[in-house]
Structures are given as structure tokens and as C-alpha cells.
Structure 1
Amino acid sequence: MASPTPKPRSLEGKVAIVTGASRGIGQAIAFDLASRGAKVTITYSSDRSAQSTSELIFKIETSANSKAIGVQCNLQDPSATKKIVDATIEAFGPSIDILVNNAAVISDKKIEDVSPEHFDEVFHLNVRAPLLMLQATLPHLRRPGRIINISSVGARAGFPGTGTYSASKAALEGYTRNWAAELGGDGTTVNAVNPGPVESEMLDQVSPEIVEPQKKATPVGQRVGTAEEVAEIVGFLAEGRSSWVSGQCLSASGGYAMY
């Protein structure tokens, strides 16, 4: 992670859940929210992520002067969402203010190689898990709440070999707009952030034949973005000053995806 920039404590007293936050964009989001004063629950899936999660929690408590807990779970398992919410309430009290659905798996398979099992794996984590997380959070959501889904430029741009991933992110955008319409009566907002290529372990799984043309087609610097640049946008959407922004899918791609 890049050196933190001091931020106003605009989320002091708020409680946030960030799924898949042990690395990459999720890690940057968790730290950014904590830097704004939020207490943060970080979910991670594997034993190998435990160390990076512990390091992030230490950094949040020392550098960001906030509180954080880690919850290991498999979001492919429908029961994981209750575990996450229960742990959050036990640690931080009865209310949750912010939910960031970040956990995802990327698909890099050609059409003929997509099996039903692979399709289910991608959609269960990228689409079903955000729905179940929202369902588990809603009874405890302090209104007006902030729901933020992490999508991808792939939701609206086609790349060879990533059709299942792109379809799952397009579905998540559909949920974003419909949830915004359904939950907005009390001021709750629902938005998505669509990163372009971002320096991360996930990006390392994508073929250079896909990434390099994207870099060249990015007007801002002809480069990939950083996780911190995406986190800044999520932080704004989590704040009270974003109260008139809802149902939007905001591209964070350096101008690569102008839609």
C-alpha cells in the first residue's frame, strides 16, 4: 500500500464491512475508511491471507487510529454472511453503516472452457454473495446507510476470455440500480465503482494480451491505476456528502471506459 494521506475524520463512529479486504483494492478500501474514522470488519478467505489481514489490522489501529477485526470465511457458503454480521455486531455494537461488496473471483476462460461448475463459482461469489451480504446487513443497517459494490469496466466492455466474469459484474450493476430504487426511501444510497486495470494480485491473473492494450488506451498516463485511487472514490461514496448520488456505476479507469 502507498503511504497514507491524512483525511478528515468524516466517518467517525461509523461501522463498515469490507469483503475480500486482505489485499488489493479491498485492503486499500478498508484502510481508507478507517482513516476517515470508521471501524472496519475485514473478511478474508484463506489461511495464506491471515498474515496480510493481521498486518492490515495493525496498520489501521496504529496509523489510522481506528479499530478493525478480521473474519475468515468462504463467501461461497451462504452461512458466511451471518458469521460476518454477527462478528461485526459483537465487536462494534448493534448498527452497521457501510457495506462494501468487494470480494470477487476473476474468470479467464474461453467460451468452450467454461464449465457449469466454473460458472457457478463465479456467479456465487460475484453476484449471490453481495445479495446475501445485503440481506444479512439490512436488519442492522443504520439509516441512511451506504451500500457500495465493486464492479469492473468488464461489466460494459468485452475482453476475450473473460465473459463469465464480465457477465457477473453486469449482473452486479443491475442489482446496484435496483437496490438503489428499493432502499432509497430513507436516504440509503447504493452505488457501484467500476475499476479499470489496477495493480493487484488479481490483475496478475489476467493475460498481458488483455492488460497491455488497456494501458495504451487509458488517456490518463497510459497506465494501470492503483488500489488507493479506487479507495478514494469508495470513501467519498461512504460519506454523508455523497447523499445525492445513488444508483450510479462510477468508472474509475483513468478515462479508459467513458460510459
Structure 2
Amino acid sequence: MPSTQQPRTLEGTVAIVTGASRGIGKAIAFDLASRGAKVTITFSSDRSKEPVDELISRIKAEANSSAIGVQCNLQATEAPKKIVDATVAAFGHDIDILVNNAAIISDKPVQDITPEHFDEVFHLNVRAPLLMVQAVLPHLRRPGRIINISSVGARDGYANTGTYSASKAALEGFTRNWAAELGKDGSTCNAVNPGPVQSEMLGQVDPKTVAAQKQVTPIENRVGTAEEVAEIVAFLAEPRSSWVTGQCISASGGFHKY
């Protein structure tokens, strides 16, 4: 687990992390809070509030910071404004950091991809980040930080994950374009591309596949941790990353196609 004694490099900032009730999003939210940020944690309308309440309590007790939870369906057009309004109301000033983490991982061969499935994946993985950025921009304290959580799947092709990989490739395209559009005042936009990470989602993957993934990961032949991804996100959120923008940074231990 990450140290709760992180340098308070984000003291006085406000961050939104979408899809932060578990896994990578949860680790990111805690890490940013441990560095001094006040954090809004969004979680799906079909998930229990209990894990978020536990995370908020942990942030208060261990990270000595503040957090709120906003439950919503990010596929709904009105959700981003709800999240931004709740954040500004709770913390009293504008937003410094947006982490677009919420996503659906699809698992369908090409012949089984329906228009409904395609729309569901792209609505959450691509449209929701776009709408979040649009909702945040009027409240973004400049220079701001936008960080998108992509995937190594955006660049490599894996069987049965075409819709997911395509959606992450689209998110990377947005990342580079937003960096070009928002940089005039020093704001940055970057993406982090995790490889296989130990999480609830990985527990749903065939153990043989996980074993194969470990074998093609040069660093220690293991999967990563959510905390290792969170460290890279924290760097991109901090002032020291001011000369980094439009980048899609692999956080994968050197993982390559198996």
C-alpha cells in the first residue's frame, strides 16, 4: 500500500476521480488525498455506497484530507454537471485535477458485438470523459491537470476485446487533442496506460491468461498494483509535471503482447 506520509505537494487542490470505489480509481483517490488534495469520488449508481464511505473515512483518518462521494450513472448526459456542482459546493472553490478512470471492459468476439454493446462501451469509455472535461472546464483552476486512464489494449490487439481497445484508442486521441487545445495557460492533459493490474477485474480473468501475462512482463514476471499506477497519476497531477502533456504513458512493467 502507498505511504500515507506522502509529501503534501497537492495541498489546497481539488480533484475528481471517476469510478473510484475500487481498483485503480480507489488507489488514485487515496494517493491524491495523501498528497493534500480534496477529492470527489464518483461511483456507479448500481454499486454499494459502503466501500466509498469506508474510503472517505480512511482518507480523513490516514491522509488527513477531505473527500465526498457522488453516486451517478456516468452514461447519463446530466451526470458530469451533477459531479462538478457537488464538488464546487463541497470544497468551496474550483477544480484543479480531473482523472477520467471509470470504464467498462468488454469481452466479445467481433461477430458478437451488437450496436447496443458498442454504444454502452463507448458511452462510458469515451463520451463520459468528453462530457466530464466539458463540465469541468468552466471551473478548472489554471493551470489544470486532466488525466485519462487508458490501457495497453489501446495499442496492442487482443482477441475478443475489440470494442474496449477501440474505445481506449479513441480516448488517447482525445488526450492528444485536448493537450493541444488547453495548453495555452499551462494546463496539461495526459493518459496513463496500465497493463494487467491486481484488482477485482483481474479476478474475473482466466488464470491461464493471467499466467501468460506474467510471463511477458519483464519486471519480476508479475502483474502490477493499483498503487503503482496511482504513483504515475500523482506525478502527472503535480506541478513538477508541468512540461509533460499530450503523452500516453505505459504503466505496465514492460508488458507486451502475449
Q: TM-score, normalised by structure 2?
A: 0.97
Distance 2:183 2:110 in 1: 38
Matched, 1:172 2:186: no
Cα deviation 1:116-149 (Å, max 9, x = unaligned): 1000000000000000000000000000000000
1:192 and 1:249 in contact (8 A); partners too? yes
| Paired AA for residue 51 in structure 2 | S
Give the paired residue count. Answer: 257
1:159 and 1:210 in contact (8 A); partners too? no
In the TM superposition, what is the alpha-carbon distance from 1:212 to its structure 2 partner?
2.6
1:108 and 1:206 in contact (8 A); partners too? no
CA change 1:208–1:113 in 2 (3 A) is farther
Distance 1:209 1:98 in 2: 38
Distance 1:126 1:209 in 2: 27
Q: What is aligned with 1:233?
A: 232
| Paired AA for residue 14 in structure 2 | V
Cα deviation 1:191-228 (Å, max 9, x = unaligned): 00000000111223334454332211000011110000
Cα deviation 1:71-101 (Å, max 9, x = unaligned): 0000010100010000000001230000000
| Paired AA for residue 65 in structure 1 | N
| Paired AA for residue 195 in structure 1 | P
> Counterpart of 1:201 in 2: which secondary structure?
coil
Q: What is aligned with 2:24?
A: 25
| Paired AA for residue 93 in structure 1 | G
Distance 1:206 1:178 in 2: 33
Matched, 1:141 2:135: no
Q: What is aligned with 1:201?
A: 200
Matched, 1:224 2:223: yes
Q: What is aligned with 2:34?
A: 35
Q: TM-score, normalised by structure 1?
A: 0.96
Q: What is aligned with 1:16?
A: 15
CA RMSD across the alignment: 1.3
Q: Which runs of 5+ in 2 are unaligned?
A: none
2:14 and 2:97 in contact (8 A); partners too? yes
Q: What is aligned with 2:91?
A: 92
> Counterpart of 1:230 in 2: which secondary structure?
helix
Matched, 1:215 2:214: yes
> Counterpart of 1:146 in 2: which secondary structure?
strand
| Paired AA for residue 134 in structure 2 | Q
Structure 1 stretch displaced more, 47-56 or 219-228: 47-56
1:29 and 1:235 in contact (8 A); partners too? yes
Distance 1:115 1:207 in 2: 24
2:154 and 2:169 in contact (8 A); partners too? yes
Distance 2:67 2:27 in 1: 14
| Paired AA for residue 238 in structure 1 | A
> Counterpart of 2:74 in 1: which secondary structure?
coil
Percent of pairs identical after alignment? Answer: 75
